């Protein structure tokens, strides 16, 4: 494992527990950091910027206690939507800078000024990309690393196969790549490193954790889920996203009709559609690995063990 960041010695494996809207929270993030992998949450998962700041205080205090107890927690990351369409961007960014959040996972747009402000306090910026063109723009704007969101990822996803995406990004930059999409085991993380990624971003695997904000029926239903239950559609809010099909059906959405619906046609910013948005759930192709609801710390420990075993086996097999 060779992680090209100053915090590498705090990680037990090259993994970021990805930020998930209405799923991640400080408890999940801190549990991940204490277990030796990067934990995160989206600022926009909170109702207001004041609540976002409360989340940061809660996380910082818990990590300080961990440090005082002789642990060496991994750094915290937050996700900011750095696009002018995000009305909260300025306030959330100001709070992020004031708290000197060590890692900022940025999505949408790629504003140079934002990256500069984060760099000024020593923060690391990792920007979501779904194509080589996005990667070029992010690198030109000064991002430190690229989160390559491939097809099969949960939430707003890419559509490109991970091998093809990593290969194309490598043609435009040698910045570190964090690969996202469909990975769910320690072995998968090793495979991503073999492909040329420096780290892995795992979301879906962590929805069914005890700390998760996901409602219990969401968490429990994932245990039944398989990759074939994942439905890709841009119709709901305009951007391609992977949805858990049984939740769409339960919400009264006809899948055949959805497949024919134009991007953004179903969910708009109106209050009524937001209500509907809450009742439908997202997950990625890695859903089949979820077999029970686990503590975040136990899941991290399992992934670290799988990763170490996979490394040993792989080294043995090529020796
Ligand atoms: C329920 C859910 C919510 C998500 N919300 C966000 C978000 O708010 N911001 C973001 O950058 N990515 C979000 N994502 C994407 C994840 O950060 C990550 O890219 C993805 O989960 C990785 O793929 P995987 O789910 O196959 O592991 C979300 C993913 C899921 C499953």
Confidence bin at 263 (pLDDT 50/70/90): confident
Range of the structural domain that residue 30 is part of: 8-212
- Look up residue 89 and give its two tokens: 């961007």
CA of 315 to the centre of ligand 1 (A): 32
Q: Which atom from ligand 1 is nearest to the alpha carbon of 40?
A: 17
Same-domain status, 24 and 46: yes
Domain boundary among 212, 240, 264: 212
Mean pLDDT of 245-271: 79
Which residue among 103, 203, 221, 222 is best mutated to probe the pocket of ligand 1, counting the most ligand atoms within 8 A of its Cβ? Answer: 203
Same-domain status, 124 and 15: yes
Same-domain status, 132 and 189: yes
The percent of residues above 90 in pLDDT, for the chain, comes to: 84
Residue 214, pLDDT above cutoff 70: yes
Same-domain status, 35 and 176: yes
Same-domain status, 265 and 201: no
* pLDDT value for 274: 44
Same-domain status, 28 and 165: yes
Q: What is the pLDDT of residues 128-177, one digit of tens each?
A: 999 999 999 999 999 999 999 999 999 999 999 999 999 999 999 999 99
- Look up residue 163 and give its two tokens: 């091998």
Which residue among 155, 183, 188, 227 is best mutated to probe the pocket of ligand 1, counting the most ligand atoms within 8 A of its Cβ? Answer: 155
Same-domain status, 21 and 152: yes
For the ranges 10-24, 180-194, 250-264, 281-295, which has the lowest average pLDDT? 250-264
Residue 254, pLDDT above cutoff 50: yes
Same-domain status, 230 and 208: no
The percent of residues above 70 in pLDDT, for the chain, comes to: 95
Q: Which atom from ligand 1 is nearest to the alpha carbon of 286?
A: 26
Mean pLDDT of 271-293: 79
Contact 201, 171 (CB under 8 A): no
For the ranges 65-69, 108-112, 203-207, 230-234, which has the lowest average pLDDT? 108-112
In a domain, 291, yes or no: no
Confidence bin at 109 (pLDDT 50/70/90): confident
Rounded CA separation 173/142 (Å): 12
In a domain, 3, yes or no: no
Confidence bin at 272 (pLDDT 50/70/90): very low
**Residue with CA closest to ligand 1 atom 15:** 155
Confidence bin at 205 (pLDDT 50/70/90): very high
Which residue among 89, 109, 153, 243 is best mutated to probe the pocket of ligand 1, counting the most ligand atoms within 8 A of its Cβ? Answer: 153
Confidence bin at 267 (pLDDT 50/70/90): low
Residue 209, pLDDT above cutoff 80: yes
In a domain, 218, yes or no: no
Long-range contacts from 146-150, C-beta under 8 angstroms, 24+ separation? 146/173, 146/175, 146/176, 146/177, 146/178, 147/105, 147/177, 147/178, 147/180, 147/201, 148/177, 148/178, 148/179, 148/180, 148/197, 149/180, 149/181, 149/201, 150/179, 150/180, 150/181, 150/182
The overall average pLDDT reported for the chain is 93
Is pLDDT larger for residue 142 or for residue 110? 142
Confidence bin at 277 (pLDDT 50/70/90): low
Domain boundary among 212, 245, 261: 212
Same-domain status, 152 and 262: no
Same-domain status, 38 and 161: yes
In a domain, 149, yes or no: yes
In a domain, 59, yes or no: yes
CA of 59 to the centre of ligand 1 (A): 20
Domain boundary among 212, 242, 266: 212
In a domain, 299, yes or no: no
Within a 13 Å sphere around the CA of 85, how many CA atoms are in the beta-carbon half? Answer: 6
Mean pLDDT of 195-200: 97
Same-domain status, 57 and 142: yes
* pLDDT value for 271: 40
What CA dihedral angle connects 140, 141, 145 and 149, to 10 degrees? -90
Residue 197, pLDDT above cutoff 70: yes
Residue 309, pLDDT above cutoff 70: yes
Mean pLDDT of 28-53: 98
Looking at the DSSP assignment, which residues form a beta bridge with residue 124?
A: 103
Q: Domain tally for the chain?
A: 2
Mean pLDDT of 205-212: 98
φ/ψ of 280, rounded to 5, equals -110, 145
- Give the CATH number of the domain where residue 116 resides: 3.20.20.70
Same-domain status, 93 and 230: no
In a domain, 295, yes or no: no
* pLDDT value for 278: 58
**Residue with CA closest to ligand 1 atom 19:** 180
Long-range contacts from 188-196, C-beta under 8 angstroms, 24+ separation? 188/286, 189/13, 189/14, 189/15, 189/303, 189/307, 189/310, 190/307, 190/310, 190/311, 190/314, 192/162, 193/1, 193/14, 195/162, 195/163, 195/166, 196/166, 196/170
In a domain, 171, yes or no: yes
Rounded CA separation 304/213 (Å): 23
* Ligand 1 pocket, Cβ-based, cut-off 6 angstroms: 18-21, 23, 42, 79, 107, 128, 149, 152-155, 180-183, 201-205, 282-284, 286
Confidence bin at 276 (pLDDT 50/70/90): low
Rounded CA separation 257/71 (Å): 52
Which residue among 44, 88, 154, 243 is best mutated to probe the pocket of ligand 1, counting the most ligand atoms within 8 A of its Cβ? Answer: 154
């Amino acid at each position: 494992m060779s992680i090209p960041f100053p915090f590498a010695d705090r990680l037990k494996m090259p993994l970021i527990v990805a930020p998930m809207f209405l799923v991640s929270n400080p408890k999940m993030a801190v549990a991940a950091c204490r277990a030796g992998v990067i934990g995160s949450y989206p600022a926009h998962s909170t109702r207001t910027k004041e609540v976002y700041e409360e989340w940061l205080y809660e996380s910082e205090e818990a990590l300080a206690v961990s440090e005082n107890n002789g642990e060496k927690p991994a750094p915290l990351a937050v996700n900011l939507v750095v696009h002018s369409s995000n009305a909260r961007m300025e306030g959330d960014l100001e709070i992020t800078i004031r708290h000197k959040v060590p890692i900022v996972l940025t999505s949408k747009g790629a504003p140079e000024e934002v990256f500069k402000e984060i760099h000024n306090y020593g923060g690391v910026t990792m920007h979501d990309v779904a194509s080589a063109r996005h990667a070029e723009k992010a690198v030109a704007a000064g991002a430190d690393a690229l989160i390559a969101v491939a097809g099969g990822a949960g939430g707003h996803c890419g559509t490109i196969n991970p091998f093809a995406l990593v290969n194309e990004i490598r043609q435009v930059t040698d910045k570190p790549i964090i690969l996202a999409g469909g990975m769910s085991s320690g072995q998968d993380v090793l495979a991503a490193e073999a492909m040329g990624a420096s780290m892995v971003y795992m979301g879906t695997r962590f929805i069914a954790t005890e700390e998760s904000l996901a409602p219990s029926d969401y968490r429990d239903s994932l245990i039944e889920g398989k990759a074939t239950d994942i439905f890709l559609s841009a119709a709901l809010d305009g951007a391609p996203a992977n949805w858990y099909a049984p939740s769409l059906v339960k919400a009264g959405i006809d899948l055949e009709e959805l497949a024919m619906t134009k991007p953004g046609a179903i969910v708009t910013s109106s209050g009524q559609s937001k209500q509907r948005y809450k009742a439908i759930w997202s997950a990625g192709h890695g859903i089949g690995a979820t077999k029970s609801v686990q503590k975040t710390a136990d899941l991290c420990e399992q992934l670290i063990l799988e990763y170490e075993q996979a490394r040993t086996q792989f080294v043995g097999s090529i020796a």
